[in-house]
Structure 1
Amino acid sequence: MTAAPPRARSAAGIVIYQPDFDALARLVASVAPDSLVIGIFANSPVAPEQQRRLQAAAGEAELVVLRPGLNRGLGAAYNALHAMARDHEAEFLLLLDQDSEPGKGMIPQLVAVHRSLAAAGERAAVVGPRPVDLTGRPMRIASDGGKVGSHAPAAAQQVGFVISSGSLLRVDALGAIGDFRADYFIDAIDIEWCMRAIARGFSIWVAPDVLMPHCLGRGIIRLPFGLLLTDQPPRRLYTYIRNQLSMLRLAHVPRSHKLKLVLSLPLRFGVYLAQNRFSRECRAALVNGVLDGLRNRLGPPDRALVSPFRTFSPRRAMADSSRALAWGDIDERGRP
Structure 2
Amino acid sequence: MIFSIIITFNPVIEDVEKLIVELKKASVIPVVVDNSSDVEHFYDCENIRLSNNKGIAKAQNIGIERAIDMGAKYVVFFDQDSLIPDAEFIKKLHSPLLKNEAKITAPIFKDRARGYTYPIVNINKNGSRTKHYPTNNHDNFFVNNVISSGCMVSVDIFKHVGVMIDDLFIDYVDTEWCLRASKFGFNVLVVPSAQMIHSIGDESFSFFGLNVTKHSPFRRYFRIRNSFYLLRCDYIPKVMAIREIIFSIGHQIILIFFSKGLRYQYVKSLFRGLFDGVFSRFN
Q: Is the 8 A contact 1:125 1:174 kept in 2?
A: no
**2:21 matched residue in structure 1:** 29
Task: Please name the residue that 2:134 is paired with.
Answer: none
- Alignment RMSD (CA, Å): 2.5
Partner of 2:241: 258
Where relative contact order (Cα < 8 A, 6+ residues apart) is larger, the structure is 2
Residues 113, 156 of structure 1: 8 Å contact kept: no
Question: Structure 1, residues 257-309: CA drift from partner, whole Å, max 9, x if none?
Answer: 1232244355324322223247101111111111111122124xxxxxxxxxx
Q: How does 1:141-156 map to 2 (within 5 A)?
A: 141-143=120-122, 155-156=139-140
- Describe how 1:202-221 pairs up with structure 2 within 5 A: 202-221=186-205
Where do residues 35-54 of structure 1 align in structure 2 (5 Å cutoff)? Answer: 35-44=27-36, 50-51=41-42, 54=43
Corresponding residue of 2:179: 195
1:98 aligns with 2:80: yes
Paired residue for 2:167?
183
Report the CA distance shift for 1:269/1:93 in structure 2 as closer, same or farther (over 3 A). same
> Are 2:124 and 1:132 aligned?
no
Pair 1:180–1:21, CA change in 2 (3 A): same
- Listed as ranges, the gaps of 5+ residues in structure 1 are 1-8, 56-62, 147-152, 300-336
Letter of the 1:76 counterpart = K
Deviations 1:136-191 (A, max 9, x none): 31112213589xxxxxx963222231111111111111232101011111111001
TM-superposed CA distance for 1:133, in Å, is 1.1
Question: C-alpha separation between the residues in 1 aligned to 2:22 and 2:174?
Answer: 24
Looking at structure 1, the residues matched to 108 and 81 of structure 2 have their Cα atoms a distance apart, in angstroms, of 16
Amino acid at match of 2:195: L
- Equivalent residue pairs, number: 269
Change beyond 3 A, Cα 1:221–1:67: same
Kindly indicate whether residue 268 of structure 2 is the aligned counterpart of residue 298 of structure 1: no
Residues 12 and 35 in structure 1, CA contact (< 8 A), matched pair in contact too? no
Find the partner of 1:86 among 68, 77, 86: 68
SS at match of 2:171: coil
How many percent identity over aligned positions?
25
Which position in structure 2 is the counterpart of 1:149? none
Relative distance call for 1:154 and 1:175 in structure 2 (3 A) is: farther
Instruction: Measure the CA separation in 1 of the matches of 2:197 and 2:96.
Output: 19
> What does residue 160 of structure 1 align with?
144
Q: TM-score, normalised by structure 2?
A: 0.85
Change (3 A) 1:222 1:46: closer
Structure with bigger strand share is 2
- Secondary structure in structure 2 of the residue aligned to 1:241: helix
Find the aligned partners of 1:265 and 1:14 in 2 and give their Cα distance: 27
Structure 2 vs 1, CA of residues 221 and 260 (structure 1 numbering), >3 Å: closer, same or farther?
farther
Q: Name the structure 2 match of 1:249.
A: 232
Determine if contact 2:7/2:34 at 8 Å carries over to the other structure. Answer: yes
Q: 1:253 to 1:267 in 2, by over 3 A?
A: same
Q: TM-score under structure 1 normalisation?
A: 0.73
Distance apart, 1:243 and its partner CA? 0.8
Match of 1:237 among 217, 220, 224: 220
What's the CA shift string for 1:295-324, capped at 9, x where partnerless? Answer: 22124xxxxxxxxxxxxxxxxxxxxxxxxx
- How far residue 229 of structure 1 moved from its aligned partner, in angstroms, is 4.2
The reply to whether residue 15 of structure 1 matches residue 7 of structure 2 is: yes
Distance 2:123 2:94 in 1: 21
Structure 2 stretches of 5 or more lacking a match? Answer: 125-129, 131-136
One-letter code of the match for 1:133?
D
Shift of 1:80: 1.1
Answer yes or no: is the 8 Å Cα contact 1:10–1:34 preserved in 2. no
SS in 2 for 1:239: helix
User: Which protein is bigger by CA-based radius of gyration?
Assistant: 1
Q: 1:197 to 1:65 in 2, by over 3 A?
A: same
